[in-house]
A and B are shown apart, each in its own frame.
Chain A
Amino acid sequence: MTILAAEKVSVRRKNRLVLADVDLAVERGELVGLLGPNGAGKTTLLKALTGLLPFTGRTVVDGREILSLAPEDRARRLAYLPQTADAHWPMPVRAVVALGRLPHQRRFHPPTPADRAAVDRAMAEADVTGIADRPLNSLSGGELARVFLARALAVEAPVLLADEPVTHLDPGHQLAVLDLMVRQAAKGDAVVVVLHDLTLAARYCHRVCVLEQGRVIADGSPASVLDDSLLERTYGVRALRGRQDGQDFLLPWAVSER
C-alpha cells in the first residue's frame, strides 16, 4: 500500500530546474534508496517531500496532500533527518533525542510516559542508550550521527526520510544503521534514504531510485537498476560483482575507460 508519493514534483531555483517532474511512490515496509551523483536533486526531493521548500506538483502521505496538513500533523507522519544534522548547544544526548517527541507533545505539557518510552526505544535502536547522559560536545562524529538518527526515530512517524545518514560513519556503524533501517521497514514503516555508497544500496535497499540532473532515470530493484550500463553512464564507474552469504554484491572497482 502506497504511503508516500510524489507526483510530477518540480523545483525551480534561480531559473534552473533542480527537480523536473519527479514521480516516486513508496509503500509501507519498503526501504528505498535515493541514488545519483552530487547535485542530482536527492536532497531537494527529500526537502520537497518534507514540505521545506516550494515546489510544483503534488506530494501525498497516507492519502493526504502533505502541504494541506498542519505542521504538527505533517511532523507526526514524516520524520526527516537532514544531511548536516547538528545541535547548537551541548545538551545531553537524551534531551536531543527527546526533541523528536515535540510533534506529539502539547504546549506546556511535560513529556508523557509514552514519550519517554519512545525516546528509550529510539535510543536503544540507534545504540546511544549508553551515552544518554553525555553532552553532545563530548561525542565523536559517529556518535553524533547516531544521536541525530535516534532523534528522527523518536518521532515514530510511519515515514522516515534520511539524507545521507551513513556518510560520516565508520564501516561497522554504516552496516548497523542500514540494519536498523531494514528493521524499521520490517515494522511496516516506509524508509527513504539518500546513499552514495552503491555497495550498501545494492545490498540493503528493496528498491533504488536513481536521479540525474533532477530527473528520475531509473527506479526498480537494485539488481535490475544497477546494471553495468547505468553505473557507467551515471557514475562513470565499472563494478566488481560477486556473491557472499547467498547475496549478490557489487563494488565500484574502477573509473570506466570511456
Chain B
Amino acid sequence: MSRLRLTLGLLFLLCLCVFLSLLFGTAPLSPLQVARALVHAGDDPRLILIIGEIRLPRALLGALVGASLGLSGAVLQGLLRNPLAEPGLTGTSSFAGLGAVIALYFGWSTVFPLALPLSAMTAAAIGTLMLLLISGRHAGTLTLILTGVALSSLAVALTSLAMNLSPNPYALSEIVMWLLGSLHDRSFGDVTLALPFAAAGWVILLTTGRGLDALSLGEEAAASLGIRVERLRITAVVGTALTVGASVAVAGSVGFVGLVVPHLLRPLVRHQPSHLLLPCALGGAILVTLADIAVRLIPSSSELMLGVLTSLVGIPFFLGMILKLQWAER
C-alpha cells in the first residue's frame, strides 16, 4: 500500500470516527441531526449546544490525545530502537500525571489555568530525560522495561503521597478519577488549553523522521551519515514532553495507545521509522476516538473510564509482544 493511500485512508477513517463519536451520548441523535447542528442549521438551539459545547470538544480532545500518544510512541520506539517503548510504559505519562497532580494539589490550576499543562509537561520532560539517562543509548528490552517500572513507581509513589496528604476527600476523589483517564465533561476550554502545546509537539516530533531512519543503523552509522544524534534525542524529549504533557493535562492517563498503534501500522509502512510517524498520529487518534465511543456504549452503572478501557485492551497486547520478543531473542 502506498504511503499516501494509507495516510488518506486513515484520515478518512478518523473523520468518520469523529463524526460517529458525535452521535453517542446521553441523548441519542440521528446523523442528520448531528450534521445539521454542526453547520448550525438546526432549528433546535439545544441540539447546537449539545453538539458544539459537549460532544465536539470531547471528540476533538479524543483525537488530540490519541494523535499525541500514537506519535510519541512511534518516536520513542524509533529513538530507543525498541517496539515496547511507549509513554505509558516508560513512565512519561506517570510523570506527566504527577506534574498535573502537583498543580491540582497546590491549587495552582485554580489560580492560573495554564499551570496544569505546564506542570504536566515539565514533569513529562523530567521523566523522559531520566529514562534516556538511565536506560542508556541503546535500550535493551529488559533495561527499558525495568527503567520504565522504576520511573512509573517513583511517579506513582509521589502521586500517592500527594493523595495521602490531601486535605479534603473531595479533592482526593477528583484526583483519582482524573488519573484514571477520561474525556467526560470536557469543554472547548480544555481544547484551547491543550491544542497549542500538543500541536507544537506534533510538529517537533514529525521532524525526527530522518534521524530515526538513520538511527535504525545504530548511533555510529547514523552519526557518520551526518545526523546530530544528541540534537535528535533532545528534540524527541521536548516533543514527547509537549504532546504527552498536554494530553495528560486534559485527559488524565490513557495508556497503551503508543504501544498498540505503531505495532499495528509498522508492517504497512514496511517498518521504516519515518514513514510510521504521520500514520501513527492518525491511527492513535482513531483508536482513542473509538475507545471513547466504546466507554459510552458499554452498559455500566457509571461510565467506564477511558484509561481503564485502553489498559484492559492494551495489556494483553503488551504481554503478547513480550512473549514474541522473548521468542525472537532465543
**Which among A12-20, A78-86, A249-257 touches the partner chain?**
A78-86
- Min CB distance A217 to B, Å, is 27
- Min CB distance B109 to A, Å, is 38
Contact A78 B213 (CB under 8 A): no
Contacts known (A80-B220, A80-B221, A85-B217); A92 close to B270, Cβ less than 8 A: yes
Q: In the complex, A133 Cα to B81 Cα: how many Å?
A: 22
CB of B210 within 8 A of chain A? yes
Q: In the complex, A120 Cα to B193 Cα: how many Å?
A: 49
Contact A99 B271 (CB under 8 A): no
- Min CB distance A133 to B, Å, is 9
CB of B273 within 8 A of chain A? yes
Q: In the complex, A155 Cα to B221 Cα: how many Å?
A: 12
Contacts known (A71-B227, A102-B210); A85 close to B273, Cβ less than 8 A: no
User: Among A82, A87, A148, which residue has its beta carbon within 8 angstroms of that of B220?
Assistant: A82
- Min CB distance A157 to B, Å, is 10
Contact A135 B270 (CB under 8 A): yes
Contacts known (A80-B220, A87-B216); A72 close to B226, Cβ less than 8 A: yes
Contact A103 B220 (CB under 8 A): no
| Closest residue on chain A to residue B276 by CB atoms | A89
- Min CB distance A182 to B, Å, is 23
Contacts known (A82-B220, A89-B216); A102 close to B271, Cβ less than 8 A: no
Find chain B residues with CB under 8 A from A47 CB: 220
Q: In the complex, A148 Cα to B216 Cα: how many Å?
A: 12
CB of B26 within 8 A of chain A? no
CB of B228 within 8 A of chain A? yes
Contact B225 A75 (CB under 8 A): yes
**Is the contact region of chain A dominated by helix, strand, or loop, or is it mixed?**
mixed
User: Among A82, A87, A95, A107, which residue has its beta carbon within 8 angstroms of that of B210?
Assistant: A107
- Min CB distance A67 to B, Å, is 13
Find chain A residues with CB under 8 A from B273 CB: 89
| Closest residue on chain A to residue B83 by CB atoms | A89
Find chain A residues with CB under 8 A from B224 CB: 50, 52, 75, 78-80, 82
CB of B304 within 8 A of chain A? no
Find chain A residues with CB under 8 A from B225 CB: 75, 99-100, 102-103, 155
Q: In the complex, A75 Cα to B273 Cα: how many Å?
A: 21
Give 12 A-B contacts (CB < 8 Å), ordered by A residue.
A71-B226, A78-B224, A82-B224, A87-B216, A87-B217, A89-B266, A90-B271, A91-B270, A91-B272, A95-B270, A99-B214, A155-B225
